[in-house]
Structure 1
Amino acid sequence: MSKTLQGNGLWERSRMMLTQHKDEILQTNKEIIKLKMPVLHEDEITIINQNVARSYAHKEALEVLIFGEWGNRKETGAVTSIHHQKKFKLELDLGYEWIDFSEVLSTKIVDSEIEVFTD
């Protein structure tokens, strides 16, 4: 009998990986680096609400740090609408984005002028 058929020889010789196995390995690696939403202190939530209201009232530029499972991102624009204290509309250079208050990690008023287009 050949040595390739003894013990683990058959598998050692082929060294083949199925696409399903490769996809499962990649998915597992992604889940390892998945971030969890931190719990914000009440003071931070108050500051977020105040900055959103100020941006809405005075059409000031607002920098928003938004939580994401694969990484946080920053957006800068002016708040043009607030929907029942659940989300707000941030007017960006190329359009707008609705942002949930539950996804906001921090906000900061920016000193630059942003041109706001109203409907």
Structure 2
Amino acid sequence: MSKKLEANGLWESSRMMLPQHKERIIEHRSRDTVSTKPFLHEDEIEIISLNLRMSLSYTIEADIELFNEFGNKTVKGIVTSVSNSGKKIKLETDTGYELLNFDDLVSVKLNEGGDEFETDT
């Protein structure tokens, strides 16, 4: 007798994976690694603002850590302008300029000026 007719043979022999199934599995696995944005205390926000102002005023290079669901991103550069109304930060990097969202900031560390101005979360 054929193997297809024994036990679970009918389903085992016709197993198939559609592209939609693969996409759904990949999407489901990626959701496991999604993180939420950490809550920043008022003091940490104040230190971030101070470091941004110091980078802007004294052209000090800063390491800016931005929140991302799949892992934080760090950008190095000098702050060239800060828009309070739009909550945007213009950063001059080695490759050009980047506009950053103030709400995405996790920490700002100055590369010069000592440890007293560093923020860690």
Paired with 2:7 and 2:21, the residues of 1 have a C-alpha distance of 23
With 10-19 and 35-44 compared, the bigger mean Cα shift is at 10-19
Percent identity, please: 44
1:8 Cα shift? 3.2
Gaps in structure 1 of 5+ consecutive residues: 113-119
The answer to whether residue 58 in structure 2 is matched with residue 58 in structure 1 is yes
When normalised by structure 2's length, the TM-score is 0.84
Structure 1 Cα separation of the partners of residues 44 and 54 of structure 2: 15
Structure 2 unaligned segments of length 5 or more: list them.
114-121
Q: How far apart are the structure 1 equivalents of 2:77 and 2:23?
A: 38
Q: Tell me the SS of whatever aligns to 1:47.
A: helix
Segments of 4+ moved more than 3 angstroms: 5-8
Match of 1:81 in 2: 81
Count of aligned positions: 112
User: What RMSD over aligned residues (CA atoms) do the two structures have, in Å?
Assistant: 1.8
Aligned to 1:43: 43
The CA distance in 2 between the partners of 1:60 and 1:3, in whole Å, is 73
Deviation by residue 1:33-54 (Cα, 9 ceiling, x = unmatched) = 1111010111110100000011
